[in-house]
Amino acid sequence: MSEAKAIKVSKETYAKLSEIAGELQVKLRRPVSIEEAMKDLIKRREKGRKISDLAGSWNITDAEFKEIKTSIDESWKKWNPAER
């Protein structure tokens, strides 16, 4: 184990870290320390985001959906694999 270092954080930051630790605890179904929550945050940052992380992040209207679907349908009509 490496040498421990003390850091100073605001009450707001500590509260957010505690919230993240609580969410991780629910996910892992075991107690989670603030340090483990911080390590998880670092690991996620280093790993990068996956496209699936964005699922549900766009609140699309019915009109937007129709416009996108129409555009995709038109593109499929124009696509010809024999030209490739």
- pLDDT tens across 18-66, in order? 999 999 999 999 999 999 999 999 988 877 777 777 777 778 899 999 9
Where in the sequence is the domain holding 16, given as residue range(s)? 11-48+57-83
Does the reported pTM lie above 0.75? no
What is the spatial distance between Cα 46 and Cα 1, in angstroms, rounded to a whole number? 21
Q: Is 60 left (phi over 0), alpha (psi -120 to 50) or beta?
A: beta
Longest Cα separation, the chain: 65
Q: How many structural domains is the chain composed of? A: 1
Question: Whole-angstrom Cα distance, residue 66 to residue 23?
Answer: 36
Residue 68 in any domain: the answer is yes
Q: What is the pLDDT of residue 63?
A: 94
Residue 5 lies in a domain: no
Pair 3, 9: CB distance under 8 Å: no
Any domain includes 70: yes
Task: For residue 2, tell me if it sits in a domain.
Answer: no
